[in-house]
A and B are shown apart, each in its own frame.
Chain A
Amino acid sequence: MNPWMLYLVWPLIKFLIAFVIVQVIVAAMNWIERRVLGLIQARLGPNRVGPWGLLQIVADPIKFLLKEDIVPSSAEKIAYFLGPMLPLVPAFIVFCLIPFGPPPTFAVTHTNVGLLLILALTSTGVYGIILGGWASNNKYSLMGGLRSAAQMVSYEVPFGLSIVGVLMLCGSLDLVHIINYQAHHVWNVFPQLIAAFIFFVSMNAENNRTPFDLPEAESELVAGYHTEYSAMKFAFFMLAEYSAMLVNCCLMVSLFLGGWTLAIGGYGLTTATLKSMGFMGGLLGTVIFVVKVMTFMMIYIWFRATFPRFRFDQLMDLGWKWMIPLALINIFVTGIVVLAAPEMIINGSVVPVGETILAVAGAATVALTLFLIMKPRAHAPKVIHASRVSEA
């Protein structure tokens, strides 16, 4: 094939398709989130525009476009405009690097440092928030920006460390290789249970989502870093946040849940099986990937509806005193097991000794933690049900 077609035209077409799909999902997420939050909080949510409020997806962008765009008179003009734009760039580029289905057809590009490149790009998303907070020339905005900077730098460490265990098991930085490895062994979420947990919590913190939404805590900082932003600029911040959420869910699915495959030990829908089905197989893989990703988006919303916000010192304690040591212990244990229990091949089939040991150890740790949390305290205060309080 003509190299121009291979390296420029096809990737561009594929990127545009992925871009449009991602934007539709991001726009739809806004409606889904509000409806699901309503469901969880025993209220209705948006239900007026169109059937089930579905046209809210269209109504919101129109409202954002038509609203007056206010720029504070004392704002730093260039930085104020750059603030909402900067996080969009990495959020969109990253979708070039995520394999949505079996490559080469369903992935835009394929590099051997794909995972690190994704981490590098997502780690620069924080600049928009800091810049926006600073340029608004508003003390609440600045506080929000500063909190965001501190939080994102802190949680990037456990975020990165939790991936190391997966890399040690799979021996590659290539997402396609990691996904294929999982299809032929077992989903990484089992041997890397603790890492998956740390990854999920830190990705919530990276996205400033609710238990960790201190940069935009409305009871303390009005709206945090985007207090002074209105109309389309505010929409850009939201767009970047939801795109980043989607990227993190894609990473979670690729690293820990087998990506587009649905197989264990090489049986089931592996990449080879899907490829033998031709284009439809690839499409099936993509559907599997999207379903897994949307499941995690739902868990994001569930988190938001369930947990109260942290205090800032609690947030830092959790990051530095719990997540990072836990991630380091996980790396240490994984390293020992990978070295001590190499892959055994009996009768031509792979026996995952190391993975089994790690999975048992991880499950035991979780069970012990749950036991310690759930254990009734010796002098626990008598619990009064909320409905009885008025009677008492």
Chain B
Amino acid sequence: MLEFIVFFVFAAIAVIFALAVILHRNPVVGALSLVASFFALAVMYVLLEAPFLAVLQIIVYAGAIMVLFLFVIMLLNLQHAREENTRPIQQFLGYTGSAAFGLGLVYYIAKYAALQLPNGPFNADARAVGVELFQAYIFPFEMVSILLLAAIVGALLLSGRLPSKVRAADGEGAR
């Protein structure tokens, strides 16, 4: 009974703040709403008896990634960004497209995920997650790390912070 109350309260919080993210005009408020939504999601993980995942959710998303988001928003000073007027056809396509996607998502989640409970006790402590990650999912894990490395190298290249020798070899010439 208590679990149901907690679930619905925090589900409502998560949804309300998620709506605030897309509806509020001020990007800083949007980013902070997303943080609040992440906290509500962390409570969901606790209810699923996975406190380790809940804590990881807060450390990674609320503690690190959203701080960087806020940093960029403030650095670019986006607080009074004015939006360009959109054409009616764009609005129509946007609303119908996302509505169709949302309905499809709900349908398939309800059909495939929610009705198939995992058999056996659910184990998500640090040890279990680590063992799974480095045994069963080692290939995707390494793939993601290579992808991230490529993104870092790409960002470094685009920001132009290369030693002058490399630039000269690129034909760009040293500034």
Residues on A lying within 8 angstroms of B by beta carbon are 76, 79, 111-113, 116-117, 119-121, 123-124, 126-127, 130-131, 134, 142, 145-146, 149-150, 152-153, 156, 160, 173
Contact = CB atoms under 8 A, between A and B. Distances in A.
18 contacts: A76-B28, A79-B29, A112-B51, A112-B125, A113-B51, A113-B125, A116-B126, A119-B59, A119-B63, A120-B58, A120-B63, A123-B58, A123-B62, A123-B64, A124-B62, A127-B67, A145-B74, A153-B64
A79 B79 CA distance: 13
Contacts of A113: 51-52, 55, 125-126
A33 to B, nearest CB: 28
Contact of B55 (A116, A126, A131): A116
A152 B70 CA distance: 13
B71 interface: yes
A174 to B, nearest CB: 10
A156 B74 contact: no
Given A117-B51, A146-B75, A149-B68, 18 more contacts: A111-B51, A116-B55, A116-B56, A116-B126, A117-B55, A119-B59, A120-B58, A120-B62, A120-B63, A124-B35, A127-B70, A134-B74, A146-B71, A146-B74, A149-B67, A149-B70, A149-B71, A153-B67
Interface string B155-171: 00000000000000000
Contacts of B59: 116, 119-120, 123, 160
A120 B55 contact: yes
A79 B33 CA distance: 12
Contacts of B70: 127, 130, 134, 149
A131 B56 CA distance: 23
A94 B67 CA distance: 20
B126 A173 contact: yes
For chain B, the bracket of interface size reads: 20 to 34
Contacts of B125: 112-113
A325 B165 CA distance: 25
A148 to B, nearest CB: 10
A172 to B, nearest CB: 9
Q: With a 10 A CB-CB cut-off, give which of A112, A126, A127, A156 has the most chain B CB atoms.
A: A127
